[in-house]
Amino acid sequence: PTEDDTTQNVVSFYAGTDKLIQTVGYYAKDHVKFSTYAAGIQAPAVEGKIFTGWGFASNDGDVPVDPDMVVTGNWAVYAMYKDAPTEDDTTQNVVSFYAGTDKLIQTVGYYAKDHVKFSTYAAGIQAPAVEGKIFTGWGFASNDGDVPVDPDMVVTGNWAVYAMYKDAPTEDDTTQNVVSFYAGTDKLIQTVGYYAKDHVKFSTYAAGIQAPAVEGKIFTGWGFASNDGDVPVDPDMVVTGNWAVYAMYKDAPTEDDTTQNVVSFYAGTDKLIQTVGYYAKDKVKFSQYALGIQAPAVEGKIFTGWGFASNDGDVPVDPDMVVTGNWAVYAMYKDAPTDDSKKDDSKPADTTKKNDTKSNTKKTVAQKIKKAVLGNTGATVGGVAVFAVLALLGFAGITVLRKRA
């Protein structure tokens, strides 16, 4: 470059009229603002005074330098101060800026009564460059990594904040952000990684990760550990680095929520096969209770399902019915087909036709007997039974007479 292109504008920062703090220069052709020159310059503390900025000296007092003014030559500026407020108003909130755990960069204080935002404290603080890293802001230290400070947050006390960095992107963009999932402080469940360049949400990292069961507890999600208790991770948050998260639990519901509905399965009136229970709050269907229950085999019978007992015979249970209490159900059966019914089915058509009248007559009598026996009790049953027998004998006699004729 020509000589004109290398001309520098230099600003000299003074504390008092003859105490030089530092000089800073930039190329004149770059038209650099004063705020850039002043970034990181620390004015000395003066007892009873508060630093207010930098100014040009004049016979009428220092004239404040506008931070947005472009430096146009070689300037000399001086630290400006104002009297500290009275004792009642002098409480300060001080932020200490660190590079690493023990390397203090600078402290900045403002009066607590002024409710100053962190962005004002951080203005002009220069974090040191770190090879292979990119400065991302300031954060509070925690066991699980630095937690970024919101620039719009009002500083409410004396804070210590640390420079935060991320890895500079590599040539092939293969840098990964890895989330480690823990059960307890030292029991690693699994690690999951995705490329940082893909900006993957936490919900994708957590998909399919199984937190271990804990007796008396219910898993509620994943969280960052902190001294004040785990802080839940927002599933929609993009993972921005290597994170460690921990399984979070809450107490299981009280005894009222553990009420069970129990179904007792019986073969006969007093032979219990098995009991099955589910939580009432889950509203489980009967088909789920009955799944896999084996009714005992009964000779000459076919199992047809489960039923409630009643004076009028067992009432079948609807499999889709939700169990609403403690139920007792009984195995239901029907008669297996007999050999006689098989023979009747195989008779020739002409024989069947020939004996239609007799068959229908016998069937009608048999049905009457069955109805009478099933529908009555005591003496009535006996009377009908005798009548039925006489009726059968009568019809049998008629049949014999017809054959002889």
Enclosing domain of residue 151: 89-167
Whether residues 56 and 32 share a domain: the answer is yes
Confidence tier at 53 by pLDDT (50, 70, 90):
very high
Whether residues 80 and 94 share a domain: the answer is no
Whether residues 328 and 355 share a domain: the answer is no
> What's the pLDDT tens digit per position in 152-164?
999 999 999 999 9
Q: Considering 212, 230, 251, which residue would you say is the last residue of a domain?
A: 251
Measured between alpha carbons, how far is residue 289 from residues 264, 286, 306, 323, 333 in Å?
A: 10, 5, 11, 9, 19
Residue 253 has pLDDT above 90, yes or no: no
Give the Cα separation of 145 and 150 in Å (integer). 16
For residue 357, what pLDDT is reported? Answer: 44
Give the Cα separation of 163 and 136 in Å (integer). 8
At position 47, the amino acid (one-letter code) is E
Q: Considering 277, 300, 335, which residue would you say is the last residue of a domain?
A: 335
Place of tokens 């962005």: 119
> What's the pLDDT tens digit per position in 69-127?
999 999 999 999 998 766 567 789 999 999 887 899 999 999 998 999 999 999 888 88
Residue 168 has pLDDT above 80, yes or no: no
* 3-state secondary structure at position 295: coil
- Report yes or no on 340 lying in a domain: no
Overall number of domains in the chain: 5
Query: 190 CB contacts (<8 Å, ≥6 apart)?
Result: 180, 181, 209
Place of tokens 């067992």: 314
Is pTM beyond 0.75? Reply is no
- Report yes or no on 318 lying in a domain: yes
CATH code of the domain containing 197? 2.60.40.4270
Whether residues 116 and 45 share a domain: the answer is no
Q: Please give the backbone phi and psi of residue 54, each rounded to the nearest 5 degrees, phi first.
A: -110, 150
Whether residues 74 and 93 share a domain: the answer is no
> What's the pLDDT tens digit per position in 360-398?
444 443 444 344 434 444 444 344 343 443 343 344 333
- Report yes or no on 391 lying in a domain: yes
Whether residues 268 and 327 share a domain: the answer is yes
At position 236, the amino acid (one-letter code) is D
Q: Are 236 and 199 in contact (CB under 8 A)?
A: no
Structure tokens at 100: 């690493």
